[in-house]
Amino acid sequence: MAIDPASPIPKYSQLREILLDLIEGSGLVVDDAIPSERELGTEYGLSRMTVRQTIDQLVAEGKLYRVPGKGTFVARPKIAMALALASFTHDMRQRGFTPGSRDILRRIEPAGGHAARMLDLPPGTRVHHIQRLRTADDEPMAVERSTIPLSFAPDLDTHSLAGRSLYQLLEEEYGVLLDSGEQTIEAAICDPTDAKLLRLPPGSPVLLMQRRSFSNGRCVEVATSSYRGDRYQLQTALDPRRRAAG
Query: Which residues bind to ligand 16G, rule: CB under 6 A?
Result: 87-89, 144, 146, 165-168, 209, 211, 221, 223, 225
Output the smallest distance, CB 167 to ligand 16G, in A: 4
**Sequence-distant contacts of 36-42: CB under 8 A, at least 24 apart:** 36/71, 36/72, 37/72, 40/15
User: CA-to-CA distance for 104 and 50, rounded, in angstroms?
Assistant: 46
**Chain centroid offset of residue 147 CA:** 20
Output the smallest distance, CB 77 to ligand 16G, in A: 19
Q: Smallest Cα–Cα separation from 51: which of 33, 62, 37?
A: 37
Given the complex with ligand 16G, which of 52 and 90 has the nearer CB atom?
90
Contact predicate 129/107, CB 8 Å = yes
Given the complex with ligand 16G, which of 88 and 152 has the nearer CB atom?
88
Given the complex with ligand 16G, which of 121 and 161 has the nearer CB atom?
161
Given the complex with ligand 16G, which of 165 and 215 has the nearer CB atom?
165
Contact predicate 128/108, CB 8 Å = yes
Given the complex with ligand 16G, which of 14 and 165 has the nearer CB atom?
165
Given the complex with ligand 16G, which of 69 and 138 has the nearer CB atom?
138
Output the smallest distance, CB 109 to ligand 16G, in A: 17
Output the smallest distance, CB 162 to ligand 16G, in A: 11
φ and ψ at residue 208, rounded to 5 degrees: -95, 120
User: CA-to-CA distance for 65 and 71, rounded, in angstroms?
Assistant: 9
